[in-house]
Amino acid sequence: MIRMLHQMGLRSNMMYGAGLLSIGASIASWFVSKQYERAGMDRADRWGLFIGEWAPTCFALGIALRMEELSEEMGHETPEFHEEGAEIRQPARTGM
């Protein structure tokens, strides 16, 4: 999925920006809802939390896309787990 998003032109800095915008929109929606709606503080809190929950998803997608960009820069494809005949590397036992 991440590779497909990358091929569609989505970049990590776009997702980081979307995460920051989500935080700002969360604060703005809480403030606007608190000031201009008669529903009270509970509704303002729900609006703020609803929009604020988008930020971690955007940041996580930004990190995944950055890893895809780095693998592309290094000239490596991302590893596939279903490759036949792939060696399984054992952890090094340094210091033992």
Give per-residue pLDDT as tens, 35-64: 777 767 777 788 788 888 999 999 999 999
Give per-residue pLDDT as tens, 15-30: 999 999 999 999 888 8
pTM for the whole thing? Answer: 0.67
Tell which wins on pLDDT, 96 or 47: 47
Tokens coding 7: 């091929």
Alpha carbon distances (Å) from 26 to 12, 16, 22, 46, 90: 21, 15, 6, 10, 46
